[in-house]
Chains A and B, each alone.
Chain A
């Protein structure tokens, strides 16, 4: 555990000393929530769905930028190459990266939740919390794999551009800003096939709002996890073949 812990601490320190990484991810979701999410009002369940949507938006940003851009940056560094020579498995380093993503995801959703519960007076039934958390985690997996795929397939500038390109449109089209509502047909029917749409459908179901059938959302998320997982794995092998050739 000592080596894993050292890698986690080193990664955390590096990101925490990079304001350009954490400030936008910390502030952007809560600002958008204040400007777009909170004024919408609606029933208690709807307001909770909107709050959870912004939590998903925050998690999506963290995994997209930390994995997508972070992996692309480190992949090209001489330090990373030097680390190939130390007695540690690649899986340990990946585990450290995952742990750091989980820590930042948990940190960055705090302001959204605080604003939602304090300012927006959103209430949540404690019995639904485990289900909501499970739904968030289930959708975070394909999103994390998408970030990894971007990081392994694109150079730094490409990954940064792509992350910006997919971050907002995927959030908007998946209904993350509106509690799952995507403005009627045909978007409503289509959005569930997006990873973010299926993710929203799953979290909404955990709250008690049926926007799309849960089995369909699960299948879509599994499909995206498989697709992005394959892309991430082939990208990893490709980058290793280039670096470690």
Chain B
């Protein structure tokens, strides 16, 4: 055993990706959680890991952070093969989806224990200040609310100061303030050159933060794109406009121009047209409508994601 029981301190190998999966397969009985999954995460970027529930996101994260073992294939972090207690574990820290602490330890004591494992970690008082934990620093974690526990978990993961930080649905079930705090924290990480793997169902969060998108479905990697390339996959833009005409008239007018309009459920009185020929459609709308309040929007990551997953499902059928 090394002094203090710490594992060998891993250093990123030159030129190695922040993380890499090569043919990783994981089975749970008859269920295939990951099937021959291969991808790599370039350093210094925020990688969004998208996938429907049960697509294998958490299993991939577990394998990457050495909390589960792959049945086949190789996972590595900055060039070090993933092994529990091995060099890879000093280069990656995790905020898990299910957060739990020993009930009788205070937040300060949890941080003191957790950060002791990481040589470059923030000092505990600094972590408490940075993550705004002063109010709960000396409270036992058994009495924390869900949001407070998540904040503490975020502090554990981020204050470890590892070059790769994995956040599994960090904003889930947080209030608006908590969500903003998570977003600001990830933005800070990105600015500092830390690699982040962010698994999230919050498409607004992904939209704001992701440099790269990695899509999983049914344990398979559907693809990996830059955020811009991913949006471009949609092949359409959305036009939003207002109209005082009755619904059937709006639909009729659009159909006569070869476009399909649908009500925008988020804003009353607003309509939406998804079209690959947005310039042409915009011109026609401006010709036939008075003050339509026209806005044109690129397809969102969420829209593309839904389309890709649906296409993958159709291929499978």
Contact = CB atoms under 8 A, between A and B. Distances in A.
A14 B102 contact: yes
B4 A79 contact: no
A224 to B, nearest CB: 27
Nearest to A90: B85
B241 to A, nearest CB: 49
Interface in B99-155: 99-102, 104-105, 109, 112-114, 116-118, 140
B25 interface: no
A88 interface: yes
Contacts of A77: 100, 102
A77 B3 CA distance: 27
B84 interface: yes
Q: How large, as a class, is the contact surface on chain B? A: 35 or more
A82 B110 CA distance: 12
B167 to A, nearest CB: 13
A91 interface: yes
Contacts of A85: 65-67, 89, 92-94
Contacts of A9: 113
A3 B68 CA distance: 23
A35 interface: no
Nearest to A17: B104
Given A82-B96, A92-B6, A95-B5, 18 more contacts: A3-B117, A6-B116, A10-B113, A14-B102, A14-B105, A77-B102, A78-B100, A85-B94, A86-B117, A87-B7, A87-B89, A87-B118, A88-B5, A88-B6, A89-B85, A92-B1, A245-B28, A245-B68
Interface string A78-102: 1101101111111111010000000
28 contacts: A2-B116, A3-B4, A3-B116, A6-B116, A7-B5, A17-B104, A18-B104, A78-B98, A79-B100, A81-B96, A84-B67, A84-B84, A85-B66, A85-B92, A85-B94, A86-B89, A86-B114, A86-B117, A87-B9, A87-B10, A87-B87, A88-B6, A88-B85, A88-B117, A89-B85, A90-B84, A91-B1, A93-B5
A18 B68 CA distance: 31
Contacts of B100: 77-79, 82
Interface residues of A, number: 30
A6 B104 contact: no
Nearest to B7: A87
Contact of B6 (A14, A87, A95, A245): A87
A91 B9 CA distance: 17
Contacts, number: 98
A4 interface: yes
Interface string B3-25: 11111011000000000000000
A237 to B, nearest CB: 13
Contacts of B92: 85
Nearest to B156: A82
Nearest first, the 3 A-B pairs at minimum CB distance are A92-B5, A78-B100, A17-B104
Contacts of B93: 85-86
Contacts of B85: 87-90
B90 interface: yes
A92 B117 CA distance: 12
A3 B5 contact: yes
A177 B7 CA distance: 45
Interface string A94-130: 0100000000000000000000000000000000000
A13 B109 contact: yes
A79 B102 contact: yes
B69 A245 contact: yes
A10 B105 contact: yes
Nearest to B160: A86
Contacts of A86: 89, 93, 114, 117-118
B67 A82 contact: yes
Contact of A4 (B4, B67, B96, B102): B4
Contact of B68 (A1, A2, A79, A244): A244
A238 B124 CA distance: 36
Given A18-B104, A86-B114, A78 B96 contact: yes
